[in-house]
């Protein structure tokens, strides 16, 4: 009987009992490294719920998650040999009892219905709670300052306030609406009002100074009152007005694999797994992650062997400052006055080259630039546009030699990306930085001359229309039709358009811009995000991350809760001349898609949602399985990735542990002949407070591997 049904370790009684409940149980075919069966509830099979298997028997904590099909069947494939806790989680449920299990045996599970709506809501992603926040009425804008309506003059409308609340402010670092933020920890102390408690809360720990600065953009007294009202209402039992849906269709085909890595006091900003230009590099190899402000140790994961470790980064100058000595406004409710962050190098973003070397934007010295960057230098870029300081430079780790090389750059670095000619292009991350920088890795390999291998250029708009970068007026001067115009762009993202070699990025701000730099002509074009543009029915604001398709379409995420595309090929009018300096030359190039999440009540704009996506990535080589050039946005408030397929979103939810907050991702093909098993995309839990992850203090950052099989029972 066991052999006939393809089941391993299943008793006749158990099989017959399952078959009586649902005959489809016979179709769950198990191998020796699988666990599978049927999930049932009070009304029969439970469709679209998650089955979670977790073990600590391996070198690092390991989790695998799948969803049930429409008959409640599930299959957890390819589990390493270990003892697992297995349970069911799903919307409308509370976690079922954990059952001990081992691979190779069938396991039917009983779902536990939530006793009430309040219990069910504890499993909702943060955005469902976040959307309950009351935001200032649109009539309170524009701000007229302290002697007027109290709103800062910089806040001209409600959307600008939301921009500072979301990915240009509070939620650029962590979720709002998760359990850690929708409740006020008792460790903060006792206060007369929740507004006062929030004022104290944002001063907490080493990130306190950043949070104080962020709330300053919101008009603090109103912000504290709004947050206090939010937590008060939740404390009294108010629940989200919207509910998440269980996964359907292709969403049920997702297989999620998670590993702990790094340290509980650190967070991992981003990771790299392969050469983005060739995702078959570094097959089954080690993954590397950058800890930004939290640590000088780059984390690594060997997913083939479930092992992790740390690599100590380097810096040149002993006077390089560290985040450990930054100002502490008030103690942390988790760490007290202990400065758990200690980073000199500020490793922000890693990328792998064609040799498997890992290049990172990294601080190696104090901000003041060396002489070769400044006026009086003979360096060609310094002659054209001297630079006096850089907050972050670069380093490279070579796995073959286990050595790190520090590399000085005159321009500031933030994100980096490789072009097909071997040059690395960099963003600065700041709105006010005046140049785009690059580093020629091929030249450096030949000469090891870091000065000769780098260059930079200002952003010049072709306002005189002659097709070349020439004499220009400064950013604070009016357009002169006989000259070009220099602008401040301060790239945040950075990506090459493989179709023509141009470099594209987005620039933070309101409403923000998409920027194109042409290395051949040294000319820049900028395209403003459509906000209340009568020529464009779409309306959104404030981009954060962006990436390119192989045929030259830019995809960007917006703080308005959109994934947006910009296609320069759709532009109808001239892209140079005086109008080019306005950024409004091609509204027809934009198209916006609302990310599937609830919207705040009282928002004046049409479209958009409360979601606050940090970044997006374009799957140029179909490493996930939704097709080439699939754009994928980080659902930072939604425990999700949102993939765009044929104009519709596929939600890849991470149900456990809650708190998944990605700042980037990378796709790799380990075996092109192995179908779905041979490829997938990786991301890391990137929130700056690992203590906010479900489970609280002591939780580790995590790597997650997303794979899509052809159906929920595929092995």
Quick: pLDDT tens for 144-195: 988 888 888 888 899 999 999 999 999 999 999 999 999 999 999 999 999 9
**pLDDT grade for 636, boundaries at 50, 70 and 90:** very high
Task: Judge whether 85 lies within some domain.
Answer: yes
pLDDT (average), residues 318-323: 96
Q: Assess whether 158 and 71 both reside in one domain.
A: no
- Asked whether the predicted pLDDT for residue 585 surpasses 50, the reply is yes
Q: Assess whether 24 and 131 both reside in one domain.
A: no
Helix, strand or coil for residue 158? helix
Boundary residue ending a domain (121, 152, 179): 121
- Asked whether the predicted pLDDT for residue 711 surpasses 80, the reply is yes
Predicted confidence at residue 463, as pLDDT, reads 97
Q: Assess whether 596 and 476 both reside in one domain.
A: yes
pLDDT (average), residues 471-479: 96
Helix, strand or coil for residue 440? strand
Q: How many domains does the chain have?
A: 3
Predicted confidence at residue 402, as pLDDT, reads 97
Of residues 634, 454, 646, 418, the one with CA closest to residue 546: 634
Supply 595's token pair. Answer: 């990310």
For the chain, counts of helices (H) and of strands (E): 11, 41
Task: Judge whether 101 lies within some domain.
Answer: yes
Task: Judge whether 222 lies within some domain.
Answer: yes
d(CA 94, CA 114): 5
Q: What is the largest CA-CA distance in the chain?
A: 88
Q: Assess whether 186 and 75 both reside in one domain.
A: no
- Asked whether the predicted pLDDT for residue 24 surpasses 70, the reply is no
Segment among 155-159, 223-227, 319-323, 406-410 with least mean pLDDT: 155-159
User: Any residues with CB less than 8 A from the CB of 492 and at least 6 apart, and which?
Assistant: 414, 415, 427, 429, 505, 506, 507, 508, 543, 544, 545, 546
- Asked whether the predicted pLDDT for residue 429 surpasses 90, the reply is no
Of residues 595, 544, 564, the one with CA closest to residue 167: 544
Q: Assess whether 53 and 195 both reside in one domain.
A: no
Q: Assess whether 525 and 572 both reside in one domain.
A: yes
User: What's the CA dihedral at 476, 477, 483, 485 to 10 degrees?
Assistant: 20
Let me know how long the chain is.
715
Q: Assess whether 98 and 202 both reside in one domain.
A: no
Predicted confidence at residue 14, as pLDDT, reads 38
**pLDDT grade for 11, boundaries at 50, 70 and 90:** very low
Phi, psi at residue 355, to the nearest 5°?
-100, 0
Predicted confidence at residue 132, as pLDDT, reads 98
- Asked whether the predicted pLDDT for residue 603 surpasses 50, the reply is yes
Q: Assess whether 106 and 216 both reside in one domain.
A: no
List pLDDT tens digits, range 50-106.
999 999 999 999 999 999 999 999 999 999 999 999 999 999 999 999 999 999 999
Predicted confidence at residue 589, as pLDDT, reads 96
Q: Assess whether 82 and 132 both reside in one domain.
A: no
Predicted confidence at residue 270, as pLDDT, reads 95
User: Any residues with CB less than 8 A from the CB of 111 and at least 6 apart, and which?
Assistant: 39, 40, 41, 46, 49, 88, 90, 93, 96
- Asked whether the predicted pLDDT for residue 19 surpasses 50, the reply is no
Predicted confidence at residue 430, as pLDDT, reads 82
Q: Assess whether 231 and 102 both reside in one domain.
A: no
**pLDDT grade for 22, boundaries at 50, 70 and 90:** very low
Share of the chain above pLDDT 90, in %: 90
Q: Angle, to 10 degrees, between the axis of helix 220-235 and the axis of helix 208-216? A: 110
Q: Assess whether 116 and 132 both reside in one domain.
A: no
**pLDDT grade for 17, boundaries at 50, 70 and 90:** very low
Segment among 35-44, 215-224, 295-304, 649-658 with least mean pLDDT: 215-224
Supply 159's token pair. Answer: 């959307």
Task: Judge whether 422 lies within some domain.
Answer: yes
Predicted confidence at residue 54, as pLDDT, reads 98
Boundary residue ending a domain (547, 579, 602): 602
Task: Judge whether 669 lies within some domain.
Answer: no
Domain that holds residue 134: 126-235
Q: Angle, to 10 degrees, between the axis of helix 194-201 and the axis of helix 220-235? A: 120
d(CA 264, CA 287): 19
Q: Assess whether 461 and 556 both reside in one domain.
A: yes
Supply 498's token pair. Answer: 């493989």
Neighbours of 183 (CB within 10 A): 11
Supply 569's token pair. Answer: 């090929």
Task: Judge whether 420 lies within some domain.
Answer: yes
List pLDDT tens digits, range 377-408.
999 999 999 999 999 999 999 999 999 999 99
Q: Which helix (H) or strand (E) holds 105?
A: strand 105-106
Task: Judge whether 388 lies within some domain.
Answer: no
Boundary residue ending a domain (201, 217, 235): 235
CATH number for 84:
2.60.40.1120
List pLDDT tens digits, range 100-134.
999 999 999 999 999 999 999 999 999 999 999 99
Burial zone of 522 (CB within 10 Å; 0-12 exposed, 13-18 middle, 19+ buried): middle
Query: In whole angstroms, how far apart are CA 648 and each of 59, 119, 563?
Result: 39, 31, 11
Supply 711's token pair. Answer: 């159906």
Task: Judge whether 368 lies within some domain.
Answer: no
Predicted confidence at residue 45, as pLDDT, reads 97
């Amino acid at each position: 009987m066991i052999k006939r049904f393809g089941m391993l370790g299943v008793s006749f009684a158990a099989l017959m009992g399952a078959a009586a409940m649902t005959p489809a149980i016979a179709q769950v075919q198990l191998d020796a490294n699988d666990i599978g069966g049927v999930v049932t509830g009070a009304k029969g099979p439970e469709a679209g719920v998650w089955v979670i298997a977790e073990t600590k028997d391996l070198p690092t904590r390991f989790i695998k998650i799948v969803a049930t099909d429409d008959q409640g069947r599930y299959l957890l494939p390819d589990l390493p040999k270990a003892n697992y806790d297995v349970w069911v989680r799903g919307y409308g449920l509370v976690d079922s009892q954990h059952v001990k299990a081992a691979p190779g045996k069938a396991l039917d599970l009983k779902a536990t219905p939530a006793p009430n709506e309040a219990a069910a809501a504890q499993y909702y992603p943060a955005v469902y709670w976040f959307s309950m926040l009351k935001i200032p009425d649109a009539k309170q804008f524009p701000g007229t300052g302290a002697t007027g309506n109290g709103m800062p003059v910089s806040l001209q409308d409600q959307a600008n306030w939301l921009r500072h609340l979301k990915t240009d402010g509070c939620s650029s670092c962590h979720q709002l609406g998760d359990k850690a933020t929708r409740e006020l920890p008792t460790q903060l102390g006792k206060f007369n009002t929740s507004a006062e408690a929030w004022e104290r809360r944002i001063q907490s720990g080493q990130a306190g100074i950043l949070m104080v600065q962020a709330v300053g953009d919101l008009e603090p007294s109103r912000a504290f009152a709004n947050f206090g009202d939010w937590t008060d209402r939740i404390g009294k039992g108010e629940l989200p007005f919207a509910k998440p849906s269980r996964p359907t269709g292709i969403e049920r085909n997702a297989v999620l694999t998670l590993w702990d890595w790094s340290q509980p006091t650190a967070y991992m900003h981003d990771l790299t797994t392969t050469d983005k230009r060739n995702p078959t590099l570094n097959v089954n190899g080690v993954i590397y992650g950058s800890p930004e402000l939290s640590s000088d140790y780059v984390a690594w994961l060997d997913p083939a062997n479930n092992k992790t470790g740390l690599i100590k980064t380097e810096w040149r100058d002993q006077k390089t400052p560290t985040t450990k000595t930054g100002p502490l406004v008030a103690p942390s409710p988790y760490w007290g006055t202990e400065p758990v962050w200690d980073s000199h190098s500020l490793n922000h973003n890693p990328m792998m080259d064609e040799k498997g070397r890992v290049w990172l934007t990294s601080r190696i010295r104090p901000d003041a630039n060396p002489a070769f960057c400044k006026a009086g230098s003979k360096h060609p870029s310094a002659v054209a546009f001297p630079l006096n300081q850089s907050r972050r430079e670069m380093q490279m780790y070579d796995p073959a030699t286990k050595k790190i090389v520090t590399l000085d750059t005159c321009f500031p670095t933030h994100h980096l990306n490789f072009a097909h000619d071997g040059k690395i292009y960099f963003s600065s991350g700041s709105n006010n930085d005046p140049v785009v920088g690059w580093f020629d890795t091929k030249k450096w390999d030949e000469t090891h001359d870091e000065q000769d291998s780098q260059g930079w250029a200002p952003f010049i708009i072709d306002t005189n229309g002659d097709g070349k970068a020439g004499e220009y007026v400064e950013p604070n001067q009016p357009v002169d039709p006989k000259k070009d115009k220099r602008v401040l762009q301060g790239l945040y993202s950075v990506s090459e358009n493989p179709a023509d070699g141009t470099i594209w990025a987005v620039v933070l701000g309101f409403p923000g811009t998409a920027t194109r730099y042409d290395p051949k002509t040294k000319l820049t074009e900028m395209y403003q995000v459509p906000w209340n543009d009568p020529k464009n029915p779409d309306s959104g604001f404030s981009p954060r991350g962006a990436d390119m398709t192989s045929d030259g379409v830019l995809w960007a995420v917006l703080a308005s809760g959109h994934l947006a595309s910009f296609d320069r090929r759709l532009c109808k009018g001239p892209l140079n001349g005086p109008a080019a300096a306005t950024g409004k030359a091609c509204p027809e190039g934009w198209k916006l898609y609302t990310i599937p999440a609830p919207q705040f009540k009282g928002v004046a704009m049409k479209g958009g949602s409360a979601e606050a996506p940090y970044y997006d990535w374009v799957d140029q080589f179909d490493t996930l399985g939704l097709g080439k050039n699939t754009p994928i946005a980080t659902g930072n408030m939604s425990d999700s990735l949102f993939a765009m397929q044929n104009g519709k979103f596929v939600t890849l939810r991470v149900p456990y542990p809650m708190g998944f907050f990605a700042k980037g991702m990378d796709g790799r093909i380990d075996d092109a002949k192995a179908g779905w098993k041979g490829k997938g995309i990786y991301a890391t839990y990137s929130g700056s407070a690992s203590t906010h992850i479900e489970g609280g203090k002591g939780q580790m950052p995590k790597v997650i591997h997303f794979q899509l099989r052809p159906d929920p029972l595929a092995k």
